[in-house]
């Protein structure tokens, strides 16, 4: 075993200077059968790549392959697909005949067995558990078996092409009840692929949350490979920078942190494989909204309780940024505008309105933030924003110019340029606290020799405090004592039993 590991290490060291990503094919269309059909509980695909194609891509002579990549045509939600198996083997044939349409792994090398994580679109890469050495002369067959036993509603499609109109280079099968072993369906279309030789991984890419944005309590940190086929991840998380290590060499691309409301944290992800770690790794930041802040992920009906809308907004679950659903304004024509607005909020000027938006329509989609004191007369805040296509876009709106007011905030979607109808997707909204929800400071009471000392914590943004005194626990008592904002304690003399309440004034 030691000799084998040493030999592998020497091979890797010899190829480090030659480490590359080799692309096989150029995307011209799409399909959903290969490499993985995830619309059924079980599926398989096999793909032929000729030696000539490998050489054209840049592979020269005997080559150690340590990973594979495939390209997603349109965005998919972050998901983990368990029980995936990938086999590679040398073959002499370059086309699938009628009697060879089944998932045969005879004489093949199992190079990967485990979970596959997908998110967004474009290239998705994964690292082999067992590298495979291409001999430099024979054709290559890639067999992928999906034993997950679970399907998804929005089955991903893959960028694909036809390498040779005269050959069937791909075959696949699927089933909802058990793994299919019978003949499948042949096709001349094959996904574009990446074959990756040993190399240090690139820095990971954050999925949730994006750097500097809000993080909802109870959520998971998620990320994806930035390239280079990492085999494990070290997770660092904490309230100090640099953050401490909290998980070592984990294979999955998520982590559940412990957080407190109204706090800031730092986190970083260090990918690794047998070749090493990235030369540089960024540290990201996140903020948790306060316990009384506006927090909405649209997991229920739209509009949510306390919200309102002009024109109809719907709920969808196809491409959520957070959770399983999001709000959607569709069929935005030349004169159709749709606005969803928040409950009445107290704007302290410190908390921004944060949200994520996306469009999947060719006509340009626009977003306009508005405000109103009565939910009837609306004023535009700032200029309209163009909404990015096929990508969740983080928007942070400065509300400092509205400080000290109770206002509704409107999120209006409308069509910009182009022909046809536009749409806007909205998710993960956070902002100031609801109006009328006043923070209650933590009150500490100490008694000594007939006097009572009341002390409380400062409430950010408070204009003062009201102190209530009563002989009954359910009674606020008579006229409260008004105290200045810089007063955080009050001493009084009493021999009788009393109850006290303190509230912040805004």
Q: CB burial class (10 A; 0-12, 13-18, 19+) of residue 353?
A: buried
Torsion of CA 366, 371, 377, 379, to 10 degrees: -60
CA–CA gap between residue 317 and residue 329 (Å, rounded): 13
Mean pLDDT for 21-41 is: 93
pLDDT confidence of residue 303: 95
Same domain, 93 and 234: no
Bridge partners, 140 (sequence order): 49, 90
Q: What is the largest CA-CA distance in the chain?
A: 99
The pair of three-digit structure tokens given for residue 189, joined into one six-digit string: 């279309």
User: What is the residue-averaged pLDDT of the chain?
Assistant: 89
Same domain, 179 and 211: no
- The predicted-structure confidence for 144-157, as pLDDT tens digits, reads as follows 999 999 888 778 99
Same domain, 427 and 465: no
The pair of three-digit structure tokens given for residue 143, joined into one six-digit string: 């067999």
Residue 477 pLDDT class (50, 70, 90 cuts): low
Whether 326 is in a domain gets the answer yes
Whether 143 is in a domain gets the answer yes
- When comparing pLDDT for 286 and 500, which is higher? 286
Same domain, 210 and 329: no
Same domain, 332 and 409: yes
- When comparing pLDDT for 165 and 85, which is higher? 85
Whether 438 is in a domain gets the answer no
Torsion of CA 481, 484, 485, 490, to 10 degrees: -60
The pair of three-digit structure tokens given for residue 276, joined into one six-digit string: 């090493």
Cβ neighbors of 132 (< 8 A, separation 6 or more) are 64, 65, 88, 109, 111
Same domain, 192 and 212: no
Closest CA to 379 of 364, 395, 399, 394: 399
3-state SS class at 8 = helix
Whether 455 is in a domain gets the answer yes
| Residue found under tokens 């997950």 | 148
Res 75 pLDDT > 90: no
Residue 4 pLDDT class (50, 70, 90 cuts): very low
Res 17 pLDDT > 80: no
- The predicted-structure confidence for 347-396, as pLDDT tens digits, reads as follows 989 999 999 999 988 899 999 999 999 999 999 999 999 999 888 999 99
Residue 256 pLDDT class (50, 70, 90 cuts): very high
Last residue of a domain, one of 160, 179, 196: 196
Residue 503 pLDDT class (50, 70, 90 cuts): confident
Last residue of a domain, one of 375, 398, 433: 433
Looking up residue 89, the CATH number of its domain turns out to be: 2.60.120
Whether 158 is in a domain gets the answer yes
Domain assignment of residue 253, given as a range: 205-287
Same domain, 470 and 413: no
Same domain, 454 and 416: no
Determine the Cα angle at 91 with ends 87 and 96, to 5°.
90
What one-character-per-residue DSSP string does 107-151 give? T-EEEEEEEEEEEEEEEEEEEEEEEEEE-SSSEEEEEEEE-----
| Residue found under tokens 């022909």 | 419
- The predicted-structure confidence for 456-466, as pLDDT tens digits, reads as follows 888 877 778 88
What one-character-per-residue DSSP string does 237-303 give? EESSSSPPEEEEEESSSEE-----TT-EEEEEEEEEBTTB--S----EEEEPPPTTEEEE---SSSS
CA–CA gap between residue 59 and residue 194 (Å, rounded): 12
pLDDT confidence of residue 296: 97
Same domain, 167 and 135: yes
The pair of three-digit structure tokens given for residue 472, joined into one six-digit string: 């009954």
Torsion of CA 50, 55, 61, 63, to 10 degrees: -80
pLDDT confidence of residue 126: 87
Same domain, 137 and 57: yes
pLDDT confidence of residue 440: 66
Whether 179 is in a domain gets the answer yes
Looking up residue 500, the CATH number of its domain turns out to be: 2.60.40.10
Mean pLDDT for 475-483 is: 71
Same domain, 76 and 189: yes
pTM of the model: 0.76
CA–CA gap between residue 212 and residue 190 (Å, rounded): 40
Looking up residue 307, the CATH number of its domain turns out to be: 2.60.120.260
Res 10 pLDDT > 60: no
Last residue of a domain, one of 237, 263, 287: 287
- The predicted-structure confidence for 386-440, as pLDDT tens digits, reads as follows 999 888 999 999 999 999 899 999 999 999 999 999 999 999 999 999 887 666 6
Residues 473/384, Cβ–Cβ less than 8 Å: no
- When comparing pLDDT for 491 and 276, which is higher? 276
Same domain, 70 and 183: yes
Whether 82 is in a domain gets the answer yes
CA–CA gap between residue 427 and residue 475 (Å, rounded): 42
Question: Number of structural domains, the chain?
Answer: 4
């Amino acid at each position: 075993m030691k000799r084998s590991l040493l030999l592998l290490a020497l091979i890797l060291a010899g190829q480090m200077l030659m480490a590359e990503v080799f692309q096989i094919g150029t995307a011209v269309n799409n399909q959903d059968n290969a490499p993985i059909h995830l619309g059924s509980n079980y599926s398989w695909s096999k793909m032929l790549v000729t030696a000539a194609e490998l050489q054209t891509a840049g592979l020269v002579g005997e080559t150690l392959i340590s990973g594979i990549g495939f390209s997603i045509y349109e965005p998919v939600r972050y998901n983990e697909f368990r029980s995936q198996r990938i086999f590679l083997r040398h073959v002499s044939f370059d086309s699938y005949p009628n009697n060879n349409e089944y998932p045969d792994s005879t004489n093949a090398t199992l190079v990967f067995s485990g979970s596959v994580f997908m998110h967004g679109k474009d290239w998705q890469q994964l690292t082999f558990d067992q590298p495979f050495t291409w001999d430099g002369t024979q054709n290559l067959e890639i067999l992928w078996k999906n034993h997950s036993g679970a399907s998804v509603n929005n089955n991903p499609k893959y960028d694909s092409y036809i390498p040779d109109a005269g050959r069937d280079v791909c075959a696949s099968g699927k089933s909802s009840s058990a793994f299919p072993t019978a003949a499948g369906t042949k096709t001349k279309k094959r996904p574009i692929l990446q074959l990756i030789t040993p190399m240090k991984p690139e820095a990971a890419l954050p999925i949730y949350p994006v750097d500097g944005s809000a993080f909802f309590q109870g959520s998971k940190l998620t990320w994806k490979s930035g390239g280079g086929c990492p085999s494990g991840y070290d997770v660092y998380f904490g309230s100090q920078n640099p953050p401490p290590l909290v998980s070592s060499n984990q294979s999955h691309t998520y982590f559940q942190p412990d957080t407190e409301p109204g706090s800031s944290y730092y986190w970083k992800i260090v990918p690794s494989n047998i070749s090493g770690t990235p030369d540089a790794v960024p540290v990201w930041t996140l903020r948790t909204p306060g316990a009384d802040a506006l927090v909405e992920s649209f997991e229920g009906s739209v509009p949510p309780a306390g919200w309102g809308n002009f024109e109809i907004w719907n709920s969808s679950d196809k491409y959520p940024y957070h959770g399983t659903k999001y709000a959607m304004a569709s069929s935005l024509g030349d004169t159709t505008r749709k606005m969803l607005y928040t409950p009445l909020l107290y704007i302290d000027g410190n908390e921004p309105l944060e949200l994520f938006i996306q469009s999947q329509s060719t006509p340009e989609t626009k977003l306009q933030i508005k405000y109103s004191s009565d939910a009837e007369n609306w004023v535009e805040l700032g200029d309209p924003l163009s909404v990015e296509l096929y990508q969740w876009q983080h928007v942070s709106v400065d509300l400092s110019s509205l400080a000290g007011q109770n206002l509704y905030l409107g999120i209006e979607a409308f069509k910009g340029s182009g022909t046809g109808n536009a749409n806007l997707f909205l998710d993960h909204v956070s902002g100031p606290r609801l109006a009328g929800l006043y923070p209650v400071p933590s009150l500490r009471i100490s008694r000594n020799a007939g006097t009572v000392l009341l002390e409380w914590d400062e409430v950010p943004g408070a204009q003062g405090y009201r102190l209530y005194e009563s002989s009954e626990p359910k009674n606020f008592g008579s006229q409260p004592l008004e105290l200045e904002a810089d007063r955080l304690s009050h001493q009084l003399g009493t021999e009788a039993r009393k109850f006290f309440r303190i509230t912040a004034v805004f």
